Amino acid sequence: MAVRVALFSGSAVSLGVSQPDTAPCAERARAVGLPVVRRSTGGLGLWHAPQDIAWSIVLPRSDPRVGRDFTKAYGRLGAGVVRFLAAYRVKATWAPPVAAPGEYCLLSGAGDVLRIGERAVGGASQHLTASTLLHHGVLPYSVDAPRLTALFDLPPSLIGSKLIGLSEALSGRPPLELADTLRQTLSEELGLDA
């Protein structure tokens, strides 16, 4: 078992494992000089910006938390992220996202996203091998509506009403503090020494 939490230091668009390299969001990103990378997990495109928080947990496939329903186990596998936000008195739940047209993962209608009320604050996905499960996700620090509109062709009104960043949700708490608290909470959730 392992937990990792990191802050993004640069910007990139990541594509889900099944998205083509020629996806419109990838083409738009390349046109403005943004790197495009591929995740080994599902979902659609995401824009990653400096100070966004990425987390991952790795479990043996035999761990009972993995289960056969691991692709739908956001609530079980992401319980530590909910507890992290609760430590700041913010109630969050894993729930279906708003099904919006386009290819932005947190609004795609596939899987669950981490929501504060009706607004998505993060998302997760999984990759299973013969011996291990990787469950990982991202919590955007802020929401840049013009950038999301340009990359994913999303209406600004949808972005403002359906997405929220950690900075807004947690009253501007510093990203390093948040990343450290998340790492501790996820470690505790898995029974690891923080």
Residues in the chain: 194
Residue boundaries of the structural domains of the chain = 2-184
Compute CA distances 133 → 26, 117, 130, 169, whole Å. Answer: 27, 29, 9, 30
pTM of the model: 0.93
Query: Domain 2-184 carries which CATH code?
Result: 3.30.930.10
- Please report, as a single letter, which amino acid is at residue 140: P
Tens of pLDDT, residue by residue, the chain (194 residues): 999 999 999 999 999 999 999 999 999 999 999 999 999 888 899 999 999 999 999 999 999 999 888 888 889 999 999 999 999 999 999 998 877 778 999 998 778 999 999 999 999 999 999 999 999 999 999 999 999 999 999 988 889 899 999 999 999 999 999 999 999 999 999 988 75
Which two tokens mark 136? 């990982």
**Phi and psi, residue 54, nearest 5°:** -110, 140
**Phi and psi, residue 137, nearest 5°:** -160, 180
**Phi and psi, residue 4, nearest 5°:** -135, 140
Q: What pLDDT was estimated at residue 194?
A: 57
